[in-house]
């Protein structure tokens, strides 16, 4: 046993639990913890420019590699409230991040002390656990419990609030006697799996819907193996994209109202049975439940008991960690294949693959200003199979999901439910901090980019290079498109005449913020692309600049002001505003063909 401050014990516990990197902003009420980080070493700290940015960096760090838990640190008062969006995002997507906040002394908690706020109560709705440690001797056990909760069951975030006098209190603690608590994960039984496979066997046109829980459980190999044994096509959700490679013959496309493939929706509409694993039936995936469930039976496997039946009641629900369930699915299916009792799915799989080859969207446009479809066509050609994409919300995210390809788990890093603007850039910094070698492309619209643009300076200071693509139409594009239903275009334009544009021959008149100038002012490099003729050179220059300077490089594409992106209100009613490619004249509306319902917007 050794006598030490509670914060020294906390830092020792963090290291023993596997923490090697933290993101944050110091302040008076959390300085004791920073003094412990400095004294003990071993945990890298990356100084953010905004505490919300730090929480998104921790989020990206967690998503980058299996087993990671990102940590963000802030002082009392507004630092904690700034992190609420990050906590909500992590909770919504079942991600463990640990937020640590400083707090006023215990005696001042209810006396309106400077920057004293009840962050425990504020954070409870968006965390698995939020706690103010009120005794120094409790601090090691509070952190031990935090890691246990973050890893057990459905993963999620925790906030630990540390009054400054608790941080400084001396305790007896022996790190050599410390052990992390065992992680609890429910596991399916063989009887449950056999019932699910019996239902699958009875179906003619089954599908597997693969959710983000499969990636969280590091169970992608088991998923692909099960699909290959049974011959059942896989529909990944937005959070599960990459669980099966996009070019795998059993990858049948994504389904949904926005982030979907035409062939994915068409295939789903032909199905009669769905096995959902590690997914939550998100509304952008399903559309109306009546349309989504009609004519189909469902099995739902999820680690969280209250998730089963939350959106609709499945025909069979199984509470299980995705990896544990898939291991049994593989075992039972292999035994049935050896016995010759598995149904042949080759005709159904080939029909799904045919749709995948023929129901495509047009991407090759030579317009100036640029059409976004062409930007994503060129990005896909440049990126390569090992590229990791990071993006949040808006038309930029929707079109990226419609047109890019993902071949590995954790190479599509996207906040699926909360969708906070500004998330992309700091999350990409967190991914880079977790993985110094991966090729990272962050994708933002101009408004997402502007939300936390100051975090570019973090990439410059800490040498965290990645390619930041900005598709700039100087509009809140998704909201503008949504406002069409209300016959308005109100307060969604970001355009203005920048008074400095006259001094820059490369500036774009009327597009407002000069992202190139801002990025360079924050210590990064930036390139503006206006014409399809510039794509190849721009990508090569960006790669060279990242290699030379080891800083983020912004690649801004100047888009036409208005482009309506394919989306709709039901999975069988997606509006294809632009030209689409159909290589099979036998396709009709009844079997998945969705013709354009409105003309393209005027140029």
Burial class of residue 295 in the structure, from the number of CB atoms within 10 Å of its CB (0-12 exposed, 13-18 middle, 19+ buried): exposed
- Catalytic one among 25, 69, 328, 443? 25
Length of the chain: 603
- Catalytic one among 46, 51, 257, 470? 51
Torsion of CA 70, 29, 44, 518, to 10 degrees: 80
How far is the C-alpha of 458 from the C-alpha of 523, rounded, in Å? 9
How far is the C-alpha of 580 from the C-alpha of 571, rounded, in Å? 17
- Catalytic one among 479, 492, 518, 580? 479
How far is the C-alpha of 486 from the C-alpha of 473, rounded, in Å? 21
How far is the C-alpha of 266 from the C-alpha of 352, rounded, in Å? 9
Q: How far is CA 299 from the centre of its chain?
A: 25
- Catalytic one among 421, 469, 527, 565? 421
Q: Provide the pairing of β-strand 297-302 with 273-277.
A: parallel
Instruction: Decide if 479 is catalytic.
Output: yes
Tokens encoding 99? 């937020």
Which H helix or E strand runs over 397?
helix 395-403
Segment 533-540 long-range contacts (CB within 8 Å, at least 24 positions apart): 535/378, 535/382, 539/378, 539/382
Instruction: Decide if 421 is catalytic.
Output: yes
Which H helix or E strand runs over 319?
strand 316-319
Q: Which of 93, 100, 186 is nearest to 146 (CA)?
A: 100
- Catalytic one among 476, 508, 516, 527? 476
The partner residues of 162 in beta bridges, in order of sequence, read 102
How far is the C-alpha of 139 from the C-alpha of 97, rounded, in Å? 18
How far is the C-alpha of 260 from the C-alpha of 574, rounded, in Å? 10
DSSP 496: -
Contact 254, 279 (CB under 8 A): no
3-class DSSP state for residue 87? helix
Tokens encoding 191? 């009887």
Instruction: Decide if 476 is catalytic.
Output: yes
Q: How far is CA 39 from the centre of its chain?
A: 34
- The catalytic residue positions are 25, 51, 421, 476, 479
């Amino acid at each position: 046993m050794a006598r030490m401050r509670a914060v020294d014990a906390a830092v020792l516990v963090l290291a023993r639990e596997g923490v090697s990197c933290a993101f944050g902003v110091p302040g008076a009420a959390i300085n004791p913890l920073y003094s412990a980080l400095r004294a003990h070493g071993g945990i890298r700290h990356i100084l953010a420019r905004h505490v919300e940015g730090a929480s998104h960096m921790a989020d990206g760090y967690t998503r980058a590699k299996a087993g990671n838990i990102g940590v963000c640190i802030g002082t009392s008062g507004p630092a904690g409230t700034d992190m609420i969006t990050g906590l909500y995002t992590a909770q919504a997507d079942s991600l463990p991040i640990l937020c640590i906040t400083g707090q006023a002394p215990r005696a001042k908690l209810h006396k309106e002390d400077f920057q004293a706020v009840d962050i425990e109560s504020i954070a409870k709705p968006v965390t698995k656990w939020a706690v103010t440690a009120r005794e120094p001797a409790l601090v090691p056990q509070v952190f031990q419990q935090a890691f246990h909760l973050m890893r057990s069951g459905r993963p999620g975030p925790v906030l630990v609030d540390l009054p400054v006098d608790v941080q400084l209190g001396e305790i007896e603690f022996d790190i050599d006697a410390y052990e992390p608590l065992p992680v609890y994960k429910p596991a399916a039984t063989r009887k449950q799996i056999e019932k699910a496979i019996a239902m699958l066997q009875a179906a003619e046109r089954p599908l597997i819907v693969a959710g983000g829980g499969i990636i969280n459980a590091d169970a992608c190999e088991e998923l692909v193996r099960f699909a290959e044994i049974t011959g059942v096509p896989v529909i990944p959700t937005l959070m599960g994209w990459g669980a099966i490679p996009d070019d795998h013959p059993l990858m049948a496309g994504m389904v949904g109202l926005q982030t979907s493939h035409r062939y994915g929706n068409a295939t789903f509409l032909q199905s009669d049975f769905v096995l959902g694993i590690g997914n939550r039936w998100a509304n952008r995936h399903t559309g109306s439940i009546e349309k989504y469930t009609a004519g189909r039976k469902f099995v739902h496997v999820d680690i969280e008991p209250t998730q089963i039946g939350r959106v609709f009641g499945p025909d069979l629900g199984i509470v299980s960690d995705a990896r544990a369930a898939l291991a049994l699915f593989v075992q039972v299916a292999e035994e049935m294949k050896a016995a010759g009792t598995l149904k042949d799915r080759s005709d159904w799989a080939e029909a799904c693959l045919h749709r995948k080859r023929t129901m495509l969207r047009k991407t090759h446009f030579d317009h100036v200003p640029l059409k976004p479809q062409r930007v994503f066509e060129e990005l896909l050609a440049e990126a390569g199979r090992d590229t990791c994409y990071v993006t949040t919300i808006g038309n930029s995210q929707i079109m990226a999901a419609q047109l890019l390809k993902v071949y590995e788990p954790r190479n599509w890093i996207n906040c699926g439910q909360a969708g906070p603007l500004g998330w992309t850039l700091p999350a990409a910094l967190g991914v880079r901090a977790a993985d110094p070698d991966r090729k990272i492309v962050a994708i933002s619209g101009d408004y997402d980019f502007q939300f936390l643009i100051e975090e570019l300076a973090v990439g410059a200071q800490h040498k965290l290079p990645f390619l930041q693509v900005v598709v700039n139409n100087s509009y809140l594009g998704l909201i503008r498109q949504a406002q069409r239903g209300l016959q308005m275009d109100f307060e969604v334009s970001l355009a203005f005449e920048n008074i400095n544009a006259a001094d820059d021959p490369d500036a774009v008149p009327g597009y407002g913020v000069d992202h190139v100038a801002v990025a360079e002012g924050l210590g990064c490099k930036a390139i503006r692309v206006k014409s399809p003729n510039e794509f190849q050179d721009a990508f090569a220059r960006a790669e060279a600049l990242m290699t030379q300077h080891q800083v983020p490089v912004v690649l801004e594409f100047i888009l036409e002001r208005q482009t309506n992106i394919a989306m709709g209100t039901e999975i069988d009613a997606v509006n294809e505003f632009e030209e689409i490619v159909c290589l099979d004249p036998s396709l009709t509306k009844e079997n998945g063909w969705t013709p354009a319902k409105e003309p393209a917007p005027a140029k």
